[in-house]
């Protein structure tokens, strides 16, 4: 058995995350990936990009500080390899090249910009097959701050994927066009109407939190009715109640309602009555991709 530590830095629109994973190689057995540490910092880059078109100086400095901290933490954990990816908030910012170069010079962290298709492909590399049955169909929905990635899996294979400019921070900033929402709905209908008994698989920090609040056992799905009821309950709560009574982080409290709506829309237009929440995301896929590329 050989144990290595890999890290993934996910630079999203609502937050920046560092995932440190144990990569356990065994002779004649599949490689095992286990979480060693996860650190999340609430740097809302999307607020800058979607409203002003570029990343402002305060968030630039916060990014530099975060990358310095992540670099030190990777050293403390003994990380041998890492990958840093930035999604919609950075790739749409006018000053992205300057910021990435500044991060590289000041922190020695190299950041890769990925488009929506690449993001969906990386997410699809996660341990979905722990719940995906080879004879069934699934619509994988990953909701972020700036975009939502859809991946259709049929009989164990990815048959279609698409990224939409629909995200929680973008919705809060009123920067989602009605035409994009229609494209989202139409894509789901077009690609799922020939498939029977499709299930939705949800990824993202918000659906993970909603699942935890539901009290359901890991591996068990949430029904459309239960998720709808949770959505209505959350809509009636004030920001103070969400933060104090439900113990949500402030940057989660203001996006939880629009995020759940995106999942419900996917369930409604795909005809799915249940959503699985495996608690995996882009960072998990990055770890597996990094290992694959190095071997």
The mean pLDDT value for 120-142 works out to 78
Contact 122, 285 (CB under 8 A): yes
Give the least confident one: 86-95, 119-128, 196-205, 256-265: 119-128
pLDDT range class, residue 156, cuts 50, 70, 90? confident
Distance CA 170, CA 181 (A): 12
- Give yes or no for residue 129 having a pLDDT over 60: no
Distance CA 126, CA 213 (A): 23
- Give yes or no for residue 196 having a pLDDT over 90: no
**pLDDT value at residue 80:** 97
Distance CA 100, CA 252 (A): 26
CATH homologous superfamily for 2-114? ATPase, nucleotide binding domain (3.30.420.40)
Show contacts of 105-111: CB within 8 Å, 24+ apart. 106/64, 106/67, 106/68, 107/64, 107/67, 107/68, 107/71, 108/71, 109/9, 109/67, 109/70, 109/71, 109/84, 110/84, 111/9, 111/11, 111/84, 111/85, 111/86
Q: Any idea which fold 128-279 has?
A: Nucleotidyltransferase; domain 5 (3.30.420)
For residues 173, 179, 181 and 182, what is the CA-based torsion angle, rounded to 10 degrees?
170
Which residues are paired to 199 by β-bridges? 138
Instruction: Tell me where in the chain the CATH 3.30.420.40 domain(s) lie.
Output: 2-114
Contact 40, 249 (CB under 8 A): no
pLDDT range class, residue 18, cuts 50, 70, 90? very high
Count Cβ atoms within 10 A of the Cβ of residue 237 and give its class: 0-12 exposed, 13-18 middle, 19 or more buried: middle
pLDDT over 70 percentage in the chain: 98
**pLDDT value at residue 158:** 85
Which of 49-58, 128-137, 149-158 has maximum average pLDDT? 49-58
pLDDT, tens digit, 9 for 90 and up, residues 204-253:
889 999 999 999 888 899 999 999 999 999 999 999 999 999 999 999 99
- Give yes or no for residue 131 having a pLDDT over 60: yes
Instruction: Tell me where in the chain the CATH 3.30.420.150 domain(s) lie.
Output: 128-279
């Amino acid at each position: 058995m050989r144990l290595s530590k890999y890290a993934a830095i996910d630079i999203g629109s609502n937050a920046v995350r560092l995932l440190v994973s144990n990569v356990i190689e065994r002779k004649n057995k599949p490689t095992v990936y286990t979480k060693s540490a996860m650190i999340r910092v609430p740097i809302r880059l999307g607020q800058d990009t979607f409203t002003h078109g570029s990343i402002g100086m305060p968030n630039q400095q916060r990014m530099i500080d975060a990358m310095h901290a992540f670099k030190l933490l990777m050293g403390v954990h003994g990380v041998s390899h890492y990958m840093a990816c930035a999604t919609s908030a950075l790739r749409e910012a006018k000053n992205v090249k300057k910021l990435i170069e500044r991060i590289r010079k000041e922190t020695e962290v190299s950041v890769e910009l990925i488009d929506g298709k690449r993001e969906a492909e990386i997410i699809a590399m996660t341990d979905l097959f722990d719940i995906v049955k080879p004879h069934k169909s699934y619509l994988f929905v990953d909701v972020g701050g700036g975009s939502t990635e859809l991946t259709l899996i049929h009989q164990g294979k990815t048959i279609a994927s698409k990224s939409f400019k629909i995200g929680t921070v973008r919705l809060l900033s009123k920067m989602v066009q009605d035409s994009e929402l229609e494209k989202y709905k139409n894509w789901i209908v077009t690609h799922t109407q020939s498939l029977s008994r499709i299930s939705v698989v949800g990824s993202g920090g918000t659906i993970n939190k909603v699942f935890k609040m539901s009290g359901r056992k890991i591996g068990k799905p949430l029904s459309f009715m239960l998720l709808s009821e949770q959505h209505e309950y959350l809509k009636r709560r004030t920001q103070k109640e969400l933060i104090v009574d439900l113990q949500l982080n402030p940057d989660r409290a203001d996006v939880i309602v629009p995020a759940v709506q995106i999942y419900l829309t996917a369930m409604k237009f795909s005809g799915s009555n249940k959503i699985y929440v495996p608690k995996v995301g882009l960072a998990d896929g990055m770890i597996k991709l990094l290992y694959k590329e190095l071997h």
